[in-house]
Every structure is written in C-alpha cells, then in structure tokens.
Amino acid sequence: MADKVNSIGSAKGTGFIIGIIVLAPLFVLLRFLQPDVNVDIYTLKITIRQKGKQDLMIHFNAINSIELHTKKINRLDIYDKQNNLLGYLHPTSNSEIIQPIIKEIVTATGFRTHKKPIKMMGRNMEAIIYGNNIL
C-alpha cells in the first residue's frame, strides 16, 4: 500500500484525492439530511414548511415563550402555555433567518427578554429567553 501511495505523487496530491473521496459524499449527504426550511410570518401566525414534513402553523397567542441557544447553537425553540414544545427552527446554512422571526414574534406578543450565560462546547455563550412570565 505504501508503494501505491508513493506512486501517486506528493502527500498534497494524496490528501487532495482522499479529501475528495471522503468529503464530497459527506457534503452531499448533509445537504439531504438538512433540508431547507421556509418560514412565512403573518399578522397572527407563523407557518414553518419543511420538505417531507407536515406544515406547522403556530398562532402567536398560543406561544408562551421562545428560547434561543438553550439546547443547541442557533436553535430556536417555541413553547406553548403548558411549556410543551410547539416547534423548533435550527437552520444550519443560514442562521441569520432566526433574528427576523424572533423580532416578529416579540413585537406581536410583547415578550420580555432574559439572557442567561451558558457553556456550550467549551465556549461561554448567552441563551436568550423571550416570554411573558420571565423572572
């Protein structure tokens, strides 16, 4: 095997070939595992559409709180009045889409903001919780 590696050429060439063989299918597989999420915001509700899943429609008056960065980085969790998870958004390719969604929900519901420090993956971060009954 070492003779075959030496016959290929330099170590950079070998690394490039192995990188293409291993990483290219990984990126293609990740693209199919993380489908695009479409979010439509109306005056009284939000609709979340994902390929292969049923559309999720959440009315603003059913939302009790929303949490950002509490379970995963760039994950927005939406909870109802009984603290049941209504839905979540975790965009991997376009994380900037979360901020306009939060702004619309907060302005429509009048939620207050609470920030709490957390440590995730060895980094100090802030989890942000929006809701009416925040202490």
The sign of the dihedral angle between the CA atoms of 20, 26, 29, 33 is negative
Q: What does each of the 135 residues of the chain score in pLDDT, given as a tens digit?
A: 556 656 656 677 777 888 888 888 887 777 777 667 788 888 888 888 877 778 889 888 888 999 988 888 888 899 998 989 988 888 766 677 888 888 888 888 888 888 888 887 788 888 899 987 654
CA count, 13 A, side-chain hemisphere, 21:
6
Residues contacting residue 40 through CB under 8 Å, at least 6 positions apart:
46, 47, 49
Topology annotation, domain 35-131: PH-domain like (2.30.29)
**Residue spans in the chain of domains classed CATH 2.30.29:** 35-131
How far is 129 from 120, CA to CA, in rounded Å? 16
